[in-house]
Amino acid sequence: MRVQAARQFQATKDTEEVLRQQQILDKKALAATRKAQKEEDKLHRAILATKRRQIAAEASAQKAADKQAQKELREAAEHYSAGQLSLNKQSTKLQKAQKTLKKQVKGSSHAIVALQVEEVISATSRGRKVQRPRRFDI
């Protein structure tokens, strides 16, 4: 009886040990599965972060290209406007000079005499009448 009780006790101890070993192996497998899942999630997050950075870099490059294009358009428009303004200023200055010369020639009764004496009536930059000899006329 003693031997039988000892064998039975030993069998229960062996089954408990086998169960304990099985539990340890199950826990190790579960830990390995969780670790693998965490690594997979980590890689997935890294891929998403890389995609977000790439999209942000592309958006930044596009924005920079748009700004550069706008800057070039603005500079071209300013250059064109400045050219138009300078042409308008020149044409208005020319028209004003022509008007003053016409007024001076119309108002001057000496213009015909001046031409006979070979003198030229011209206007200075301030609109004054000047009689110059024709030899100084270029």
Instruction: Answer for the pair 118, 137: CB distance below 8 angstroms, yes or no.
Output: no
Q: What's the predicted TM-score (pTM) here?
A: 0.43
For residue 120, give every residue at least 6 positions away whose Cβ sits within 8 Å of its Cβ, in sequence order, or none.
114, 131, 132, 133, 134, 137
The pLDDT assigned to 78 comes to 76
Type of residue at 50: T
Determine the Cα–Cα distance for residues 69 and 39; give it in Å rounded to an integer: 45
- The domains of the chain are located at 2-90
The pLDDT assigned to 102 comes to 72
Question: Would you give per-residue pLDDT tens digits along the chain (138 residues)?
Answer: 888 999 999 999 999 999 999 999 999 999 999 999 999 999 999 999 999 999 999 999 999 998 998 888 888 877 776 666 666 666 677 777 777 777 766 655 444 444 444 556 777 777 777 777 666 555
Query: What are residue 121's DSSP bridge partners?
Result: 131
